Chain A
C-alpha cells in the first residue's frame, strides 16, 4: 500500500470522522520505516508512488496493538470533569448553569450523531456504524454524568454546607488523573 491508499482506508473505516492530512501519513510512514516496522517493496505503482509493506516486526507491533486494551491513563484528561470540579470551587460560578450549557451542547451533538446514524442505517458500512455508535454512547454517558452531577449537587444543597465536606469534591487539577477520578463510575 502507499500513502494515499492508507489514508483512504482509514477514512473509509471511520467515516472521515478524524480526517488525516496526507503529509501526516507520509511522515508516519517514514518513522515506521526508520523503526523497521514497514519497508519499501521496491515496486512503485503507475504514478511512481512508493509502495510499502509491513515487516515481521511491524506485524508483531500491530497484533500487539489490537490485543492490548486502552488504559484510562492513556487518554487525555477529561476537561469537562475538570471544568465542573473547578466551577464548584470557584466563587461566583454557577455550576448548574455550567452543567446545563454542556447538557444542551451534548444533546445537540447527540442529535447530530443520531441523524447521521439514521442516514447510515440502511448501509452495509458496519465499520462506520460502529464508530457512530461509539460516539453516541460516549455522548450519552456524558449526559448521564451531567444529570448525576446535578442530582448530587441538589442533594448536597439541601444537606450539608460545602465548607464542611471532608476531602474536597474537586480534585487537584494539576494531578494528571484528576479528570478520571472526578467521573463517578
Chain B
C-alpha cells in the first residue's frame, strides 16, 4: 500500500465467544488513516467503538481480517515486537487518568522514550519539544495534580506523539472536560494532525467529531456510514450557509 498509510484495518472483525453465545463486537471493518488525517468514530454505546480502538492499538487482536500500523501487519509480530511498535508508533489518550501521578509532565512524556532505550537527557529534550508543540511547554515540571484537566489531556497528547510516534488513538478524550476546555483539546489534536500526525478519535460529541477530516459511524459493530473528506473552507464561503 502507499507509504502514507499510518493505520489500516482490512475487513477487521472481532468475535467474542462466550460459551454458546457468539458476540460480534466488530464485523468487516475497513478503515484507512493517512498522514495528517484526523478521523472520528461515532456510534451508540456498544457499537464497537472501543473495540475498534483496541484493535488499532494492538491491545486486542482481530479474529478476522488484519490491522496494519505503518504498513506492518500486527498479526505477524511476536509479543516483544508488538510491544515495540506500540511504544514507537502510537500513543493512547483516554478520558482521564492518563498520567502517572508521581511523575512530572516531562517525565510522563519522556517515559515511553526511556522505555525504548533513549537516554534520559535525549528523552527529556524530546518530551519538552512535544510539550511545547501542544502549548504546555511551561508546565514541564508540574505534577498531574498541579494541572487542570485540559492541561493534563494536552500532556497526554504530547506523550502520544513524542519522538517518532505519529499516531494518536483517543478514546473520549474530552469526556471529563467542560465544553470549552474540550474544544481546546480538540484544537490541539487538530493542530498536531495538521502538522503531520494522525489521529483516530472516538467521541459521542458531534461538535468535537466535527474537527475531524472524516467522521465514520459504527452501529452493531459495523461501519454504516462516512462523511467523506470535507471540502476546504474556501468552497463554503460563497455558499448559502445554513439551510
Contacts and interface: CB of A to CB of B under 8 A. Distances in A.
B225 A100 contact: yes
Given A19-B240, A135-B242, A140 B230 contact: no
Interface residues of B, number: 29
Contact of A147 (B44, B228, B230, B237): B44
B233 A18 contact: no
Contacts of A106: 206
Interface string B223-240: 011111011110011001
B227 A107 contact: yes
Interface in A127-157: 135-140, 143-144, 147, 150-151, 154
Contact of B236 (A18, A19, A115): A115
A101 to B, nearest CB: 8
A107 B242 contact: no
B217 A100 contact: yes
A143 B215 CA distance: 13
B31 to A, nearest CB: 16
A18 B187 CA distance: 28
A55 interface: no
Nearest to A138: B242
Contact of A115 (B44, B217, B224, B232): B232
Contact of B242 (A17, A140, A144, A151): A17
B44 to A, nearest CB: 7
Contacts of A154: 44
A110 B207 contact: yes
A121 B98 CA distance: 29
B233 A143 contact: no
A111 interface: yes
Interface in B53-84: none
A83 B226 CA distance: 22
Contacts of B233: 112, 115-116, 118-119
7 nearest CB pairs, A to B: A17-B241, A143-B206, A110-B210, A114-B210, A111-B230, A115-B233, A108-B227
Given A109-B242, A110-B207, A115-B233, 15 more contacts: A18-B240, A100-B224, A100-B225, A106-B206, A107-B42, A107-B206, A107-B227, A108-B228, A108-B230, A112-B231, A114-B207, A118-B190, A137-B207, A138-B242, A139-B242
